[in-house]
Amino acid sequence: MTSAAQIAETLIYPYLNHAVRMYEEKYASRADIDAAMRFGCGYPKGPLTVLDEIGLDVVRDALAARYAETGDPLHKPADLLESLAGQGATGKDAGRGFYAYEDGAIALDSETPSADDAPQLRHDIRTVGVVGTGTMASGIVQVFAQAGYDVVYVGRGEDKVAGVRTFIEKSLDKAIARGKSDEATKAAVLGRLTGATERSALAEVDIVVEAIAEDLDIKQELFADLDRICKPGAILATTTSSLPITSCAEVTSRPEAVIGMHFFNPAPVMKLVEVVTTVQTGADVDETVRALCAKTGKVAVSCGDRAGFIVNALLFPYLNDAVKLSESGLELGVIDTAIKEQAAYPMGPFELLDVVGNDVSLAIQEELLREFRQPGFTPAHTLKQVVAEGKLGRKTGQGFHDYR
């Protein structure tokens, strides 16, 4: 019988290996990879910290054995994992792994950010524009208004625009009921909101964040229009989680001002924002957006424009592996429980898949397969099957688990 520890090792070690590869490719910093998974997924610790605690040699040896068995390149220990373990930098117990340690605590080293590294606003940001009226857009409007910014938001009709204000009012009322806010704060936040049905209302904003449909043609039409409408120097940001930001930038005359701000849902609650730069994004724009995130109480992590960014590129292969593991005969509940008990994750993989939406999860996994061309990223048969059957998760009442 497969133990809970074996289940966790089977699913989590490849995820840790992916994180090492991301770091060794210099796609994202050590701190940003760990922060992304902590604040984006609610994990108690980031993957590189977990590696240091388990022991790099322990994980390397387990992966090597798995690679010998499966031949899957995703199970081959990352070169940096091999290198550090070979040097004796095996983690916390050795005093050095991905981090340095003194008396069992993480110590300062050459990669530790200093206070001098804190990003500054290189552009004057007073008014924020938001395009969209869905849950994500409404949450983003609330985030900026609560942080003291005047917000102009644009929807396709008066009813949609009114819905954003209603969403925010309900959210603030809940905060008041929990003792987390008060009527004066609510009035101040609502007083910073200006709704509009015409994009021309965005002419004088300092930054626009779009949160419309995940359709490249629709986004490109919007960015071309925003480029025409918005004043010179205004930053154009997209919340896309799966589409190339470069493709949005290329339809504008200001590609240096186009950037990704990938908020996590629900935006008022989730702390993480992935700040995604293209090769043309200006350093001043990047720094301003990261500073803006800090001013709204968010944790910004930096990465480049490729599929999955940090969180989805690490999360969804793990979820896909969980589905494949269930196809070997293990019960879903057993896998969910093992991950929660062994890794202290807030949800098991099938619980999380059902929350995200199995159709969304399948689309992201297919995008990762196209980007990285790793056969191991091929969507699991059962994932495709539940989507084909309309079992999309909590939103349909049935997914991997039944919610009816």
The residues annotated as belonging to the active site are 241, 262, 274, 312
How far CA 362 is from CA of 44, 52, 147, 328, in Å, comes to 26, 31, 35, 20
How far CA 274 is from CA of 153, 241, 357, in Å, comes to 22, 9, 21
Burial readout 215-253 (b: 16 or more C-beta within 10 A, e: otherwise): eeeebbebbebbbebbeeebbbbbbbbbbbbbbbbebbe
With contact defined as beta carbons under 8 Å apart, do 302 and 32 qualify?
yes
Indicate the pairing of strand 272-277 with strand 207-210.
unpaired
Q: Which residues contact 95 (CB under 8 A, 6 or more apart)?
A: 101, 102
Instruction: Find out whether the peptide bond into 119 is cis, omega within 30 degrees of 0.
Output: no
> What does residue 216 show for φ and ψ, rounded to 5 degrees?
-60, -40
